[in-house]
Structure 1
Amino acid sequence: MHISKFSHSNFFFLFFLNLALSSLIRAQSAGSAEAYKVKEDLNALSEDAIPVEIWLPKVEDSLAVYQMPKVVPGTYKVHNYGLFVRDFAAFNEAGDSLPVQKLSINSWQIKRAQELHRIQYWVDDSYGDERGRPIFAPSGSSNEEEVFLLNQFAYIGYLEGYKNLPFELEIAHPQGFFGSGAWPAERSDTLDHYQFPSYFLLHDNPMMYCQPDTSSVWIGNSKVELSLYSPNKTVNADTTMALIEAVLQASAEYLGGSLPVDKYSILIYCQSDLKGDFSYGALEHHRSTVLYMPEVDGAIFYEGVRDIVAHEFLHIITPLGIHSEYIQDFDFANPEMSRHLWLYEGVTEYNSHLVQVRDSIYSKEEFLEVMRDKFFANDQYEDLPLTAVSKHTLDIYHDQYQNFYEGGAIAAMALDLYLIEISGGGMRLMDLLNNLSAVFPADTFFKDEDLFRIMGELSFPQVETFMVRHFEAGEPFPWERLFANVGLDYSDEGKTMGWSIGTDELSYDLEQDRFLVTNEEGIDSFGEALGLKARDQIISINGDTLNLFSFQTVLADFQGTLQEGDEVVYRVARPKRNDKFRIKRLKTKAFKVEYDESHLLKWQEEASDRQKAWRKIWLAQ
């Protein structure tokens, strides 16, 4: 689910070609032999489904196969969008039915294809689906009376062998609805027309139709537009944009001060059912990103949007810019995975936080805490080579994919620190990415197996060895040395004194919307002083309600302001029989506890001038 990122010459060529040919394509008949014409009717919504009608290019063979995507770029997970298609039918120009056979979840074979003129079917949305079909929400679809989130790959497929033909898309929509998105459209009150030169560009441009709540800013030479759907009006576009504008500006500066597109669109769909699907996050595209977020006001929403947008925005560097052959010509039906998801997701995730510390949105201490959290998360996964996990992320290692945002990010940090070390402060990771972008602009690609060699050629020969040893062979990174170069002491394990919340074993009760103490073993000396018991559900700490969405803020306030001897008051719900609870007030005086800690990082008080200089090169602080 979160961008300095490079020539997008081919993309700009297609964009301006689209504008130049727009009127010509619009004039073509529905049965054009060289294009698809698609109609989606949002007004015909019925039981969370909409009808799709497609006039097809001329087919010469007797058989044709219509294909819906199995996987889409950026998700690295099998979703099988054909699952949501029903009542599929094919017709000739006279309106007679043609024989259709469903070959697989995602494909339909049409016989007498020389006569094929039109197909039609209904598409159910993924958000309303209750049949156990897990779809990463930002890559899903919503068909509701108040909002339509249209990731077009969930609605439209292509004929095998005809994927790269133009698509003309017509969307009929309720009056008062506006279709937000980055791609240009010819609009009227109830009907919009889009022209896409290929299926890839159709799939790459999501849209959201609803009563408009939008806000925009200029970032360098580009207009960034944010469109937000909040069913209960809990959050709004103007406030959200005001709180993320700084990170957008910081990301643009990290990219060199300008963006490779004239317009960038941020689509935010807020989910009001906070006890439902928790697959919050985002999916990147060349000119836009889709966010699926909880509808809650406050830091959990705005900080979440800020960090996610920074990540997705910086995907402009990779894979939307730098990428291998498997991204360049993506196979929607049977994709082959690259060995370099560490680059596409890990480097992007690292950069999304690095830009914030370099622009002083984070302090250097806050940045270290973010990266330490990634060390902790990485410890929960198997110790496997990043390239192997990447290559087999759809099958053998599908349960390891999330670690590219954790272990992949700290691997990117290790590479950044190594480049500073080996260059004597003359090269950072961003410099190497710029070199790669110059050799492999967005309309070209590198061969998957050649990347480490190329990285060495564009920086230092030792870099190839570093990548092979640590990214391909899985050898641990030399963290003590790398951190020492910038004035940090690092320890794998140690002991520390700090404020505790009484236990390190918490779970969550979705029904009660409360954290609970999982077991007695996790209760420490502070928890014992409070009187915490296993299965206690924590309602509040010092009067601040604790739940899934306030957890980070409440703990930061609690631990950031506490002094030795302060009174600490918890309200807990202690379970009784028959699923009932007794509300109890627990209190004690604050004191620090000693606990085992891992991945300890501490700034050296007597750092050398060279260490300070290299730290400045790394963090700009």
Structure 2
Amino acid sequence: MRIPLFRLGSGLMFLLYLVASFSVLAQQGTTGDVRVTEFYQISYSYTLDLTKTTNDKVPVELVFKNLSSLKVGENELMTTGKDSISFFMPKIVPGTYHIYDFGRFLSDFKVTDINGKEIKFSHPSDNEWRFPTNGVYKISYLVDDTFDSELDNKVFEPGGTSIEEDVFVLNTHGLFGYLEDYKRQPFEINVIKPKNFYGSTPLVAAKSDEKKDTYLVSDYHLLADSPMLYCVPDTVTLKVGGADILVSVFHKRGKVKASEISKEVQKSLEAQKNYLGGTLPIKKYAFLIYIFDGFSNSGSYGALEHSYSSLYFLPNMGASRLANTVVEIAAHEFFHILTPLSIHSEQIHYFDFINPKMSKHLWLYEGVTEYFANHVLLQQELISLDEFLDKMRDKVVEANNYSDVPFTKMSLGCLDEYADEYGNVYEKGALIGWMLDVRLRELSDGKYGLMNLMQDLSKKYGKDKPFEDDKLFDVIAEITYPEIRTFFADYVESNKELPYTKYLKTMGINTTGEGTEEVFNFGNIGLAVDPQTKEVSVFNLDGANEFGKMFREGDVLLEINGEKVDATNFLDLITEASYKTNEEMEILVNREIKKRRKTKMKKKLLKSKPVFVEQEQDFGFEEIEDKTQKQKKLLKAWQKWEIE
């Protein structure tokens, strides 16, 4: 997945956060709610012993019956007559759109018979172990922590594992594998846990006591879609829209509490519940939130979305700002309960963890989801129309930084040829969703919009029935209007520019392209980031304005207005400061001082009022004051999703 970067006036890019979406879908009706009677003959019986970790490695055991006679129901496992079989760990997990090769974190791999005698195996690739089927009873191995791994190709933490004495972040796709061609068989997962530890997960334990939790899982797709957070519990359970919402937080220093974050999460979910018609289409959802101090191994932070949960990896930025950040990310992530959970293609439904095939519909999975995450704020009156239009304007600007490759083509090639284009799913993808919503409102005289379409598609397909990738546009046209097929042909399958002016005018919104706006400028100086310490320092003062002239080359930024600063929060701090136009900014730096042929670093407090510069407005949206009755009607129908 492309990591979004933000550019300052100085030309330096800073990484803020990465949001990914995990879209493997559960095949059961609920998350882990599987009848025990279906598991009389377990295919895979895993044991994960959290009490026996050493050097950030946890032991895993997988027990079989004899593979040549193992049965599930009336079907023998080895129906092909093969004398050998492969065990796989995922090469890739959907939503991250990045190859991680989780098998490389396994070591001390052994295959044994029922008497403990080792059976020879081959290891053709990082993610595959091949061995004879006859006599195999158990596989065992160690799994290494990814959070502090020194291996190249760092794993984005919400998709990785943390194995520490006081916390275990367990992304199941990094711990458990499956047998060749048998991802749809049932699993038993036994987790032996330290004293007083609790497992937060979207799964429902079939058995649980002080020492062990047992989960019964229908297949590997559901297992890989169900992360776990084991630690001394700090949890809150909410009831929203008929669903049980678990908020579980871990912070090593214990200063960030679930009770503080859950209050803001509940506000967001209440808004989304109203947006979805008063109920949530799930029974249980888990927010698993890991708060870290210092810096991340991957250089990123954010969340990974699952069908019935989301796993957050966020820096400690204070309870209030942290809660707002969770809500901001969750506004997008939670809407994945619509798509791809309830609406998805065969490529997702039958996801291949080793050789994945991409769907052409990222405009739907990520774009429509991002649009809904913004529109819910408008519809629930959490932001004004002007604020919504500003958000969309920013997306137009960001989308222009990408190429004009057709969106379906980009989606199919997002793992390789168009990997650098993936970030556009959150920009142009959302704009496609917006224009589709407006067009549907126009054609239906305000009575039918994008959410109506999502509801109709959910009824037609649902989580257990995938659509055919090449037929979706035709199906949507049949459900709605023939003109919508032309919309997809022009703006999703082709690279025509989205018709903002034409479409938005129907509901009384104009596009603009003239004038200027004042933008805060951090001195027009060159800044650099130390990749190890994440310190931000000044390296170039050429062209510095009045604000920038107070710095010296080599200054290391320590604090902005009393807040400690590094690469992870720099943009947030200067954005907040930019609104205080009449107040001095205070910036504490570490400055190199030379005295008597010796050099040392000394702290120095710098003060200056923010400097604003005029910037051309390349593009924007504004509401028309004197709207016609038809425009007023369509605007209200789109904005409030209702019509008188």
Length-normalised TM-score, structure 1: 0.89
Work out the number of aligned pairs and report it. 600
1:51 is aligned to 2:67: no
Query: Counterpart in 2 of 1:35?
Result: 43
1:414 aligned onto 2:431: no
Cα deviation for residue 215 of structure 1 reads 0.7
Per the alignment, residue 252 of structure 2 pairs with: 231
Report the Cα distance in structure 1 between the residues aligned to 2:50 and 2:374, rounded to whole angstroms.
39
> CA separation of 1:582/1:603 partners in 2, compared to 1, >3 Å: closer, same or farther?
farther
Measured after TM superposition, the shift of residue 209 of structure 1 is 0.4
Question: Compared with structure 1, are the counterparts of its residues 159 and 544 closer, same or farther at alpha carbon in structure 2 (3 Å cutoff)?
Answer: closer
Write the distance in 1 (CA, Å) between the matches of 2:563 and 2:250: 28
List aligned pairs for 1:153-164, cutoff 5 A. Answer: 153-164=173-184
Instruction: Find the counterpart in structure 1 of residue 6 from structure 2.
Output: none
Matches within 5 A, 1:177-576: 177-185=197-205, 186-274=207-295, 276-491=297-512, 493-503=513-523, 507=527, 509-510=529-530, 523=544, 527=547, 554-555=573-574, 557-560=576-579, 562=581, 566=582, 568-571=584-587, 573=589, 576=592
CA contact (8 A) 1:502 1:532 kept: no
Residue matched to 2:189: 169
SS in 1 for 2:288: strand
Q: Provide structure 1 residue ranges, at least 5 long, that are not aligned to the other structure.
A: none
Compare the two structures and name the one with the higher helix fraction.
1
Question: Aligned match of 1:92 in 72, 93, 113?
Answer: 113
SS for the counterpart of 1:103 is: strand
Q: Which position in structure 2 is the counterpart of 1:12? A: 29
Q: Relative to structure 2, which stretch is displaced further, 37-46 or 283-292?
A: 283-292
User: 1:516: how far off?
Assistant: 5.5
Residue aligning to 1:613: 633
Of 267-276 and 542-551, deviating more is 542-551
- Bigger shift: 409-418 or 190-199? 409-418
Cα distance per residue 1:288-310 (max 9 Å; x no partner): 11111112214542222002212
Q: Which residue of 148, 156, 159 corresponds with 1:139?
A: 159
Following TM superposition, by how much is the alpha carbon of 1:100 offset from its aligned partner in structure 2, in angstroms? 0.7
Q: Does the CA contact (< 8 Å) of 2:366 and 2:425 recur in 1?
A: yes
**Counterpart secondary structure, 2:137:** strand
Q: Are residue 123 (structure 1) and residue 139 (structure 2) matched?
A: no
1:352-383 deviation per Cα after TM superposition (whole angstroms, max 9, x unaligned): 12112211222333323333332333232222
Secondary structure in structure 1 of the residue aligned to 2:216: strand
Distance in 2, Cα, partners of 1:14 & 1:266? 14
One-letter amino acid matched to 2:211 = T
Contact 1:234 1:296 survives alignment (8 Å): no
Asked if 2 retains the 8 angstrom alpha-carbon contact of 1:265 and 1:289, the reply is: yes
- Asked if the contact 2:517/2:617 (under 8 Å) is kept, the reply is no
Q: What displacement does 1:248 show? A: 0.7
SS of the residue corresponding to residue 260 of structure 1 reads: coil
Change (3 A) 1:255 1:37: same
Q: Distance in 2 between matches of 1:89 and 1:384?
A: 47
Answer with 283-292 or 573-582: which moved more.
573-582
SS of 2:168's partner is strand
Is the contact between residue 27 and residue 221 of structure 2 (CA under 8 Å) also seen in structure 1? no
Q: Distance in 2 between matches of 1:400 and 1:532?
A: 36
Q: Is the 2:26–2:307 Cα contact (8 Å) retained in structure 1?
A: no
CA distance in 2, matches of 1:108, 1:99: 10
Any conservation in 2 of the 1:300–1:549 contact (CA below 8 Å)? no
Q: Would you say the 8 A contact 1:486–1:615 is kept in 2?
A: yes
Matches within 5 A, 1:102-121: 102-111=123-132, 113-121=133-141
Show the counterpart of 2:624. Answer: 604
In 1, the alpha carbon distance for the partners of 2:611 and 2:181 equals 69
How far apart, in 2, do the equivalents of 1:514 and 1:609 lie? 56
Q: Secondary structure at the match of 2:617?
A: strand
Partner-residue secondary structure (3-state), 1:249: helix
The structural deviation recorded for 1:553 is 5.7
Shift of 1:282: 1.7
The CA distance in 2 between the partners of 1:420 and 1:523, in whole Å, is 50
Q: What residue number does 2:172 align with?
A: 152
Instruction: Give the aligned residue type for 2:275.
Output: Y
Give per-residue Cα distances to partners, 1:297-337, cap 9 Å, x unaligned. 14542222002212221101111110011011111111100
AA in 2 matched with 1:164: R
Kindly report the root-mean-square deviation, in angstroms, between the aligned alpha carbons of the 2 structures: 2.9
Change (3 A) 1:434 1:448: same
Output one character per residue of 1:470-509: Cα deviation in whole Å (capped at 9) or x when no partner: 1111111112223333333323x44314252354666453
Amino acid at match of 2:354: A
- What residue ranges of structure 2 are gaps of 5+ in the alignment? 1-17, 69-77
In structure 2, relative to structure 1, the CA distance for the partners of 1:539 and 1:574 (3 Å cut) is closer
Match of 1:77 among 91, 98, 109: 98
Partner amino acid for 1:254?
Answer: Y
Q: Judge which range, 369-378 or 396-405, deviates more.
A: 369-378
Q: CA deviation at 1:350?
A: 1.4
Change (3 A) 1:598 1:298: farther
- 2:618 partner SS: strand
Shift of the 407–163 alpha-carbon distance from structure 1 to 2, 3 Å rule, reads same
TM-score normalized with structure 2 length:
0.86
SS in 1 for 2:447: coil
CA spacing shift, 1:572–1:175, aligned 2, 3 Å: closer
Distance 1:374 1:522 in 2: 29
What secondary structure does 2:151 align onto? coil
Answer yes or no: is the 8 Å Cα contact 2:26–2:221 preserved in 1: no
Q: CA deviation at 1:567?
A: 5.4
Partner deviation per Cα, 1:229-261 (whole Å, 9 max, x = no partner): 111123110110101211111112222222232
Matched residue type, 2:167: V
Residue 85 of structure 1 and its aligned partner are, at CA, apart by: 0.8
Q: Give distance in 1, aligned partners of 2:392 and 2:29.
A: 36
When structure 1 is superposed on structure 2, of 402-411 and 333-342 the one drifting more is 402-411
Shift of 1:78: 1.2
Q: 1:127 to 1:571 in 2, by over 3 A?
A: closer
Q: Displacement of 1:539 after TM fit? A: 5.9
